[in-house]
Amino acid sequence: MEMPRPSTLKYIIIGDTGVGKSSLLLQFTEKRFQPANGSTTNVEFAAKMITINDEPIKLKIWDTVGQETFRSITRSYYRDSAGALLVYDITRRETFNHLASWLEDLSEHAGANVTIMLIGNKCDLARRRAVSTEEGVQFAEDHGLYFMETSAKTAQNVEEAFINTAAAIRENIEDRGS
C-alpha cells in the first residue's frame, strides 16, 4: 500500500525586529535558544513534519531576516502563505503598537483568507512586562486573531503556537470548502 503524501502548509512569521521571530523558529525546529542571534539579510526558511489528528503535515515556515522594516518586505514573501504568526514583544510596547500596521500589510498582500496567530513573546521576562495579557487577548478578539503568549527562551507554548496555527489554518480551509 502506498503511503499518502503528507500535505504541505506554508506560513510566515512577521513582526518588528527583535521580538523573537527567529528565536521562536529555532526553538520550534531545533529545540534550542541562542541568546544573541546574529541576523543575516535574507529570508530564511525551515521545514518540520508535524501530525494533526494522526495526519502527517509538512510545515514550511518563512522567517524575515533583517527585512522587518515596515513595508520593506517584498510582496512575494506573502504570496501563497496560508497563515502568519504575528509576533510582538511583551516587554516593548511599541512592538504591540505596530500590530495594526502589520495587519494592514497582511491584508494587502496575503489576502483575506489568511489565518493569523498573534504571539506575545518573551513571557519569561515577567518583571519587564509592558503589555498585559488582557490587552493581547482584547486585540486578538477585536481583529479576529488567535492568541498565545510564548517564550522562545524557556520554550513555553512554542510548539503549541506553531501547531495550533497549522491546525487553525486547516480548519479555516475546510470551513471554506476549498
Q: Using CB under 5 A as the criterion, which residues of the chain lie in contact with Mg ion when the complex forms? A: 21-22
For residue 13, what is its C-alpha cell? 512569521
For residue 165, what is its C-alpha cell? 496555527
Q: Of these partners, Mg ion, ligand GDP, none, which one is at the site of residue 91 (CB under 5 to 8 Å by kind)?
A: none
Residue 85 lies near ligand GDP (rule: CB under 6 A): no
Of the pair 110, 123, the CB lying nearest ligand GDP is at 123
Residue 124 lies near ligand GDP (rule: CB under 6 A): yes
Residue 152 lies near ligand GDP (rule: CB under 6 A): yes
Which residue number is nearest to ligand GDP in terms of Cβ? 20
Task: Find the part of the chain contacting ligand GDP (CB under 6 A) among 34-42, 93-101, 107-115, 141-149.
Answer: 34-42
| Closest distance to ligand GDP from the beta carbon of 128 (Å) | 9
Of the pair 63, 170, the CB lying nearest ligand GDP is at 63
Task: Find the part of the chain contacting ligand GDP (CB under 6 A) among 44-52, 100-108, 130-138, 150-158.
Answer: 150-158
Q: Of these partners, Mg ion, ligand GDP, none, which one is at the site of residue 121 (CB under 5 to 8 Å by kind)?
A: ligand GDP
Q: How far is CA 32 from CA 23, 90, 121, 160, in A?
A: 8, 21, 16, 16
Interface contacts to ligand GDP, rule CB under 6 A: 17-23, 35-37, 121-122, 124-125, 151-153
